[in-house]
Every structure is written in C-alpha cells, then in structure tokens.
Amino acid sequence: MTFLTIDAISKSYGPTPALDTIDMRIEAGGRTAIVGPSGSGKTTLLRIIAGFETPDSGALVLDGRALAGNGALVPAHKRGIGIVSQDGALFPHLTVADNIGFGLAKKAADRNQRIAELMEMVELDGIMAARRPHQLSGGQQQRVALARALALKPRLMLLDEPFSALDTGLRDTMRRTVARVLRAAGATAILVTHDQAEALSFADQVAVLRQGRLVQFGPPRALYGKPRDRETATFLGEAILLDADIVPGRAECILGSLAVEPGSKTGQATIMLRPEQIRLTTAVAGSEPDGPCGRIDDVEFGGGDCTVLVRIDRTDRAMPDFLSIKCVGFEIPGPGDLVRISVHGPAHVLAD
Ligand SMILES: Nc1ncnc2c1ncn2[C@@H]1O[C@H](COP(=O)(O)OP(=O)(O)OP(=O)(O)O)[C@@H](O)[C@H]1O
C-alpha cells in the first residue's frame, strides 16, 4: 500500500530547478534510499518531506493526509515525521536519558521504562544513561539520536546521511543496526546518502537523482543490474562499458557474441557488464584458447579484491583495448599471462 506519495514536486531557488517534477510512491514499512551526486537535490527533497521547505508545485500525501500542495501545508512539527541528521544534533547539556526522553511527557509514569527500552533497542548500555553527548563516541551519539527520534513513534523516519561521520567499520555496523531497529519498529524510512554502496545495501527501493531529476527508481538489484544510462551504471558500481552491435538476443562486441536480455533494443549501442560477470582463466601455453582472450598488462593487488588490466589486441584497429576487471586475490594471473575471458549472464544494453 502506498504510504507516501510524492506527486510532481518541483522546487527552484533561482533560475535552475533544484527539483524538477519528482514522482515517487513509497510503500508502508519500506526502506527507500535517495542517492545522487552533490547538488542533485537529495537534501532539498528530504527537507520538503520534513516540512522545512515548501515546494513550488506538486503535492505530498502521507498515509492519506495532504501535507503540502492542493492548498495544504502542514507544519513540520505536526507531520509525525522523525529525523536523524548527519551530526545527530543532540542537546549537549542534557544527559543521554534526557536526550532520548526529550519528546516524552516529563511526568509520564512509564517515562524511565520507555527510555530504558529505547536504549536497549539501539543497543546502548544502561550505564550510559547519565552521560552527556561529549562523553560518547560518534556511533553511540548516532544511536542516541535514533532512539530520540524513535521515542515519538514516527510514522516516517528521515535519515539524512546519518552514517557519514563514522569510519568504515562502524558505518557498516550502524547501518545494519538502524535497518534492524526500523524494521522492528515497523517504521517507514527514507535515507539520503551520496554513498551508493550504502544505498544498495540499506534499502529495498533506491531513487537516483541527477540535476534535480529522478533518473531511476526501483529495487537495488534491478538498478545495479539494469541501470538506465552510463552515468547511473558507473555511479552505482564498477561497470565495464563496451560498444556493441545488437541483434535480437545477442551483442557482437570485443568479447565476441554475448547474450543480452530479451527485448533489448537492436543496432549500435553500449552494453554494460558488471566485473563479477567476468572470469579470467589462464590459457595453456602454446595453445591458442578459443573464444575471447587477452594478455595481462598490469595487476593491482588489493587483497580480496584485485584489479587486473587486460590488453586485447584487435585486428581491425591499430590500438589495443584495455579492460579493467576485478578478481578475487587468490585467482589472479600474473602480468604477461595469456587469459581466456568468459562472461556469465546476459549483458545489459543501455538506453543512451
Ligand atoms: N537554500 C538554498 N538557496 C539556494 N540554492 C540552494 C539552496 N538549497 C539548495 N540549493 C541548490 O539546490 C541544488 C540542490 O541542492 P541539495 O542540497 O538538495 O543537493 P544534494 O544532492 O543534497 O547535495 P549534497 O550531496 O552536496 O548535500 C543545488 O544546486 C544547491 O546549490
């Protein structure tokens, strides 16, 4: 069931639109990530949903209630929306317990019990209740911010780059904790991030914004495997982009004749392969391998994740092609080795 409807929302601060006719439908209980490069409009969209900005046109409906547009404009504090920001925005003079209980009635009989439950939910040790924010680590501060937002039982939780100030290991742990806590609370969440890996792993729906426009919206797997254009393909992860001649069901390219998804457009086009679709196997010395092959030009060792540069000589061109391919550390051939290149799964034909 649609919980949040974003209907043709536009917003300009000057001649250039920050948001241009954005349409999105967000399901109840879902986790949506909004990604895009800097300046693409992510924060503006979040601020409009929160009620900190007014759209120039379009409408916003939350659970059947008009929040903005069509004559409505519900103020931020009456929207029932929780927000966790990048820095947590905790009250520095209040203890952890008072930060978490800030929105709860002071005299409520179960106030302390509720605070204790929320601390447990976000995995904060009870002994921290009396501490002040400056006595906590970055990750602990974000947990307090999350607990404070959850205390009000918001119908919608907005997460504005909440993990960006944390280092990599803690970021991953916090992302999993937050996803689990939101699921347990049954809250619908929208995460804004410029980190595509974070978006793909956190969300069940990802919206890609570029220059104020919604380029693509869908499940992470669909976007990663079938990006709409080159920019989205490379934004969402490592991509191998090749020129190809498409005939029904197949792409003729430098790697030979590859399968493409049924229904792909035909003619000259760019195809995309993800690095994990490609396997390199060392060819036996003296025997020319059948199928596409190349010579290892360079190997960048990265432990579990190595990058191999493969040189492919072409009879039809003076210059060779180079493909950069990710390999698992223990499988990598050495520089100068002849390798056979095999492709698993269909290539994706890009629309542009
Ligand atoms: N208050 C404002 N006044 C004028 N222009 C603004 C204002 N807020 C945002 N903009 C402009 O609107 C566009 C979108 O900005 P927004 O902050 O939404 O992007 P973003 O995707 O969140 O970027 P970042 O990842 O850098 O935070 C940008 O061109 C920005 O300069």
- Whole-prediction pTM: 0.85
Residue closest via CA to ligand 1's atom 18 equals: 41
Name the residue of 10, 16, 43, 47 to mutate for ligand 1: max ligand atoms within 8 A of Cβ. 43
Q: What DSSP character marks residue 289? A: P
For residue 46, the ligand 1 atom closest to its alpha carbon is 18
What is the position in ligand 1's atom list of the atom closest to the CA of 41? 18
Task: Give the pLDDT of residue 285.
Answer: 64
CA of 139 to the centre of ligand 1 (A): 27
Structural domains of the chain, with CATH:
2-230 (3.40.50.300), 277-343 (2.40.50.140)
Distance CA 195, CA 182 (A): 20
Cα 86 to ligand 1 centre (Å)? 16
**Protein residue whose Cα sits closest to atom 25 of ligand 1:** 38
What's the gap in Å between 39 CA and the centre of ligand 1?
Answer: 5
The Cα 64–Cα 60 span in angstroms is: 10
* 45 alpha carbon – ligand 1 mean position (Å): 10
DSSP-derived 3-state class of residue 316: coil
pLDDT recorded at residue 286: 64
pLDDT at 288: 63
C-alpha–C-alpha distance, residues 287 and 302, integer Å: 31
Contact 276, 304 (CB under 8 A): no
Residue 52 tokens, joined: 């900190």
Between the CA of 181 and the centroid of ligand 1 the distance, in Å, is 30
Length of the chain: 352
User: What's the confidence (pLDDT) of residue 177?
Assistant: 82
**Regions in the chain scoring below 50 on pLDDT:** none
Of 27, 22, 34, nearest in space to 2 by CA: 27
**Looking at ligand 1, which atom is closest to the CA of residue 209?**
21
**Best mutation site among 9, 13, 209 for ligand 1, i.e. most ligand atoms within 8 A of its Cβ?**
13
Contacts 24+ apart (CB under 8 A), 49-55: 49/4, 49/6, 49/81, 49/156, 49/158, 49/190, 50/76, 50/79, 50/81, 50/83, 50/158, 51/75, 51/76, 51/77, 51/79, 51/81, 52/76, 53/11, 55/9, 55/10, 55/11, 55/19
Q: Tell me the best of 20, 40, 195, 210 to mutate to test the pocket of ligand 1, counting ligand atoms within 8 Å of each CB and taking the most.
A: 40
Tokens 């929040």 found at: 67
- Widest CA span of the chain, in angstroms? 85
Residues with CB under 6 Å of ligand 1 are 13, 18, 36, 38-44, 194
> In the prediction, which pLDDT does 3 show?
93
pLDDT at residue 129 in the model: 87
Query: What pLDDT was estimated at residue 328?
Result: 67
pLDDT in tens, 142-194: 888 888 888 888 889 999 887 777 777 777 887 888 888 888 878 899 999 98
How many angstroms from the chain centroid is the CA of residue 99?
29
What span, in angstroms and rounded, lies between the C-alpha atoms of 3 and 28? 5
